[in-house]
Amino acid sequence: MRNIYTKANRQYKKIYQTVTSICEENGKKLVIKKAAVPEAKGHIENMYKNSKVTFPNMTMCPCTLKDGELIFDFIEGEMLSKRLMDAVNNNDKTAFYKTIDLLFDIMKVDESEFCEFDNSDSFKAVFGDAPELMGKRALKYCVFDCTANNIILKDKAYFIDYEWGFDFPVLYDLWKLHAIYSMYYIDPKIEEFEPFKNVFEHMGSDCDMQTLIDLRANFCDHISGGYYTGGYLKRAIKLGDVVNDNEFVYEREITGLKNYISILENAREQSDEYVKALEDSAKQMEAYVKELENASLKKDEYVKELENASRQKDEYIASLERNIKYNEDKIAELGKEVEELIEKNNQLHRELFYIQNSLSWKITKPLRSFKR
């Protein structure tokens, strides 16, 4: 299996740290996720659980769990985020809102999946306290990271990276806000193109926008341990927090370096295997070239044999033509002799007829009889 790309998300807490690789086997691309550290094995299992969630308008990217690794199909298609950014770059607000509406349509869930938000302890542990939103519409089970970056459009809509699944009620409008708001953090120029408050109004939510944004920020803090993550732009970090938590930071950095070293070692092993494969391929190519050279020599010998056979054929044909000419001449000569013999035979028959019908032949008939 050939490795094409590898990424480790060491910016997360240990329990969420994974390594993602894109590989190719027998011409087919696969995406493989595995735990970067033993503490993250449960996160991999939770992702597999998320793959079983169903949506009316989108399909979870198929995956299998084998030996602690999640193996996904690699889906070629158009990322919904690209369509969104094309609208931004083209200054096309109609296309921009059309894409947002498409995302919300893809995210639709069955009514049976809804419940009332109860501000549970599990929710508080991940998103923070939100008592003012009690009773609002919520999802019983929420695959949270349904962002435009994780939706690929092909023959249908595919959800490709369903990393965060929560089995407690999560606010429906928080889920929708996160799906779009994450794009605003990836590229700040979207805010210049169309302020998020306008998009939030377009959502038609009856929740307070800033409250939902704060809940989302708490989620980012939760998965990263309170520090900046590459996937989510974090609020500013106070210097005092860093100083107080320096041991934690060092531990995170050391773990990250170990993970990176492990990735490099794996890459080196794969590189060694690739070099060996190239050497084997070169040997096979040399053997093939030698076979071609031998085949070329045999071809030359065969061509000479064919040329000799052709010359012999031409000589034989010429000999046959000479024999045919000789036989034709002989036949013509014999034909003349036959004609002469026939004429001579006819002449003799005529002479015999004249003799047998002559008077002398008739007079001497008794003598011939007496003589016998």
Q: What whole-number distance in Å separates Cα of residue 285 and Cα of residue 103?
A: 51
The pTM of this model reads: 0.61
CA distances, 108 to each of 56, 172, 213, 323 (Å): 7, 10, 21, 97
Which residues in the chain show pLDDT less than 70?
226-260, 262-263, 266-267, 371-372
pLDDT digits (tens, 9 = 90+) for 251-300: 444 555 555 576 677 667 777 887 888 888 888 888 889 989 999 899 98
Q: What whole-number distance in Å separates Cα of residue 311 and Cα of residue 275?
A: 53
**Sign of the dihedral through C-alpha 303, 309, 315, 318:** negative
Which three-class secondary structure string do you get for 160-205?
A: CCCCCEECCCEEHHHHHHHHHHHHHHHCCHHHHHCCHHHHHHHHCC
Q: What whole-number distance in Å separates Cα of residue 36 and Cα of residue 10?
A: 8
Q: What whole-number distance in Å separates Cα of residue 81 and Cα of residue 330?
A: 98
Domain boundaries, the chain: 2-237, 247-344
Output the DSSP codes for 138-165. EESSEE----GGGEEESSSEEE-----E
Q: What is the pLDDT of residue 278?
A: 87
